[in-house]
Structure 1
């Protein structure tokens, strides 16, 4: 691998592994993560889960249909500004506003992720690269892994990708053969469920932070900027690695990735 590509891989690893969203939120609001999560009222997880599933189902349509058309490129700053506005609205209405705000915010973020994917050479007219955009919502370091059987020495990024490989392959195969004629098809439901398992954690952390009295609309705006920037960085890392894997092969890139240090 060339020195330039090695540097690209090192940057990608920093984007993917350095700091979880929970740590960023805790630092922003000055409250430990565990305390934040205890602030969520009883029954909140159920409503958050419904909002997450609704948001991801809408994003599935966007990823597999809307991103296939040629749209005018927009900057990451424009997408971030748009999610900041939706965050302010959601923050004003508190937890009940999440059901309205989250699908809009997530869809705007997906468009930003799609632009990043294209910049790294992804062909979003194909189902697998389009679904890789939704995978971004499940990436990043966290206290929980999708793949509980992963080796402790393996990175959170590759462990998560491994856990998503089969459901992504099945969903891509289904879409390639039948399209989105039946959105409730088991292959698509399984894919959404696996992504939602991780994305729901991030949304819960954001929702809990918005319950802090000093937050409100201003807090919702700031948190959505953090939220969007977080997933944009994950997307930059994810698609840089996919670009390198197309160039050098997945085994070589994976091996080098694991050998690189992660700066806290």
Structure 2
């Protein structure tokens, strides 16, 4: 579906994009985003696959539900802050705030990390909405709100793959009014894995606060980059008339 560009209060003029150059630029950003988590794994001394196994069984069993709850709370909270005209923050400030919440969440181990989860998710989702706005998309529109949530379906910053998993770009999500449960039910299972890794990192004994701060920095940076990939493709599609499937296939060719 070709996205609807918003009519901003002050007209935003986007120069025509060079399709090939823009795809190259987005591929470079995707590669950068896919490599940000490896230093974090070095800090906590484990592999991504082992992190979730470090969580207590009860936490693993409730991970998907905790993720859905975090998304439910964040979806409307992030939108409300923009509706309330709280100024959009630049990337560095968003990351700084996220680092602070991550340190606080990691300080008390798993219980405080679980309590911090919706807060950090809201901060990141608000940043994603800001990036949508930067690309001429109105975050108040239902289809753009769905696209903001779709960013969370990306593989995750600790996934050491080749950066070619772009299925999140074409995930079909539709928001009508306030009916978000169905769309969250699609995203939550995908987001549960990276959030489980985040919780496990924050629960590492003795370095929970440091790991929490580092984890939040990595996660915020990653999802900001993923948002720029998605909304960059959407803006390119609005100019060229191509759908997301065609553009994501062209991007994948560059990545592989």
TM-score normalised according to structure 2 size: 0.80
The verdict on how the C-alpha distance between 1:136 and 1:121 changes in structure 2, with shifts beyond 3 A counting, is same
In structure 1, the partner of 2:150 is: 135
Does residue 6 (structure 1) correspond to residue 15 (structure 2)? The answer is no
- What RMSD in Å do the two structures reach over aligned CA positions? 2.7
- Whether the 8 Å contact between 1:25 and 1:206 is mirrored in structure 2 is no
Higher normalized helix content (fraction of residues): 1
Shift of 1:39: 1.4
* Equivalent pairs, count: 235
Which of 172, 183, 196 is the matching residue for 1:204?
196
Shift of 1:24: 5.6
The verdict on how the C-alpha distance between 1:257 and 1:141 changes in structure 2, with shifts beyond 3 A counting, is farther
The verdict on how the C-alpha distance between 1:49 and 1:254 changes in structure 2, with shifts beyond 3 A counting, is closer
Partners of 1:63 and 1:218 lie apart in 2 by 26
In structure 1, the partner of 2:112 is: 97
Partners of 1:243 and 1:3 lie apart in 2 by 9
3-state SS, counterpart of residue 213 of structure 1: coil
The verdict on how the C-alpha distance between 1:231 and 1:141 changes in structure 2, with shifts beyond 3 A counting, is closer
Q: Which moved more, 1:7-16 or 1:62-71?
A: 62-71
Gap runs ≥5 in structure 1: 145-154
Query: 1:72-92: CA deviations, max 9, x gaps?
Result: 231111111111111111101
Partners of 2:235 and 2:17 lie apart in 1 by 15
Alignment of 1:141-152 (within 5 A): none
Shift of 1:10: 2.2
3-state SS, counterpart of residue 255 of structure 2: coil
Partners of 1:231 and 1:71 lie apart in 2 by 21
In structure 2, the partner of 1:82 is: 97
In structure 1, the partner of 2:232 is: 240
Shift of 1:238: 1.1
Partners of 1:39 and 1:46 lie apart in 2 by 13
3-state SS, counterpart of residue 205 of structure 1: helix
Shift of 1:231: 0.9
Alignment of 1:212-227 (within 5 A): 212-227=204-219
Does residue 257 (structure 1) correspond to residue 256 (structure 2)? The answer is no
Partners of 2:229 and 2:213 lie apart in 1 by 25
Shift of 1:130: 1.6
- Whether the 8 Å contact between 2:95 and 2:217 is mirrored in structure 1 is yes
In structure 2, the partner of 1:29 is: 44
Shift of 1:254: 3.5
Which of 76, 88, 113 is the matching residue for 2:128?
113
Which of 66, 69, 76 is the matching residue for 1:61?
76
Shift of 1:123: 1.4
Partners of 1:113 and 1:65 lie apart in 2 by 14
3-state SS, counterpart of residue 156 of structure 1: coil
Gap runs ≥5 in structure 2: 1-15
TM-score normalised according to structure 1 size: 0.78
The verdict on how the C-alpha distance between 1:230 and 1:141 changes in structure 2, with shifts beyond 3 A counting, is closer
